[in-house]
Amino acid sequence: MLAVLSPGQGSQKPGFLTPWLDLTGTEARLRWWSALAGVDLVRLGTTADADEIKDTARTQPLLVAAALLAAEHLPMHDVQVTAGHSVGELAAAALAGVLPAEAAVTLAGVRGREMAAACALEPTGMAALLGGDPAEVLAAIEATGLHAANRNGSGQIVAAGAVAGLEKLAADPPAKTRVVRLQVAGAFHTPYMAPAEEALATVAAGITPADPGRILLSNLDGSAVNHGRDMVQRLVRQVTAGVRWDLCMRTLADLGVTGVLELPPAGTLAGMVKRELKGAGAPEIVTLNTPDDLPAARALIARHGSAPGHEPTIAFRVVVAPAAGTFQPAEELTEGTDLRTGQVIGQITTRQGAVEVTAHASGTLTEWLAHHDDPVAPGQPLARIGGQV
């Protein structure tokens, strides 16, 4: 099973898109997307310096455009799983078929501008806490009035909030923890970004999403998302909610992912996966940064993706598990029952509580693919719906 990952803010490097402009049609595509995002993606990806592309308003659409641009040169129909870190979720959603590429780039432009504006309202920031006991680190973050904005696994948790709180945390860090202040504009993925979330929600309300055509993981809780509208709501909410990349990587392991491809600018997520998913079951990893890496990326997809001519692992007529746990189908439902969109067909009992499973379309319950008390993993097919979907 193959997963394609889209990186988030902080992964950008000056000139990283320059070699891609040698490919036919690339510059025209970037200029079209520039009009949608409200920034010059061609210049930002080629001649702009590090300070300019560090600007949140510019960085976010640049990263989404870069991932989508590279994916156009890959056999994405053979990819079973997509996921993205922070703003990279917009690219992942587009690659899963939830959003058109144009919508993803447009939303990234709005997201970047509005988050930059929210950062200017009061002095906030972020700091990475490396090492230490996770429970002690989270307790220290809460005690200083900060928020756990990112949990990236392998002993890395990012705190965000008021500058005074960050300074207090740095002066008295948890045991065996190193605090590294991040060069960012403000406290992303915290309540400080509420104005940006509200603005993004207003624009996102005009989008008509599709349900994902492959397994799409959410930063909110690492679960596989069945419904396009649910994913759009999660994308909006993620502006103020913490990024649980640790749970996304756990889901990759639960799914039995054997190959991981990171889209440009690649390296950050691949490093996290390499540190977290170790041992005999560690996936093969390829980073795609320039067109010279395309042959290796295509070969990885050929080795770990779905066989050509086969149906995708997750199709629109299959309801999948949003989380790991024990499945309990709704008692009144039997095969042959007519379902309506949004109807609860069962629940998954997890360590955090019960998670409802709903039908993403109307139709007939043609087959249960999981049964009472069956253990299930995120993305595992639970039921098949036929008819008008």
Whether 306 is a known active-site residue: answer no
**For helices 268-276 and 245-255, what crossing angle results, to 10°?**
60
Residue 384, SS3 per DSSP? strand
Tracing tokens 């078929």 back to the chain, one arrives at 97
The residue length of the chain stands at 389
Which residue among 11, 34, 86, 306 is the active-site one? 86
364 within 8 A of 386, measured Cβ to Cβ: yes
259, β-bridge pairs: 2, 284
Contact partners, residue 279, CB within 8 Å, separation at least 6: none
Which residue among 34, 85, 147, 189 is the active-site one? 189
* Alpha-carbon 196 to chain mean position: 18
For 171-321, list the strands marked E by DSSP.
Answer: 177-182, 215-216, 259-262, 284-287, 318-320
Give the whole-angstrom CA distance, residue 132 versus residue 233.
34
Whether 218 is a known active-site residue: answer no
Give the whole-angstrom CA distance, residue 24 versus residue 20.
9
Task: List active site positions.
Answer: 86, 189
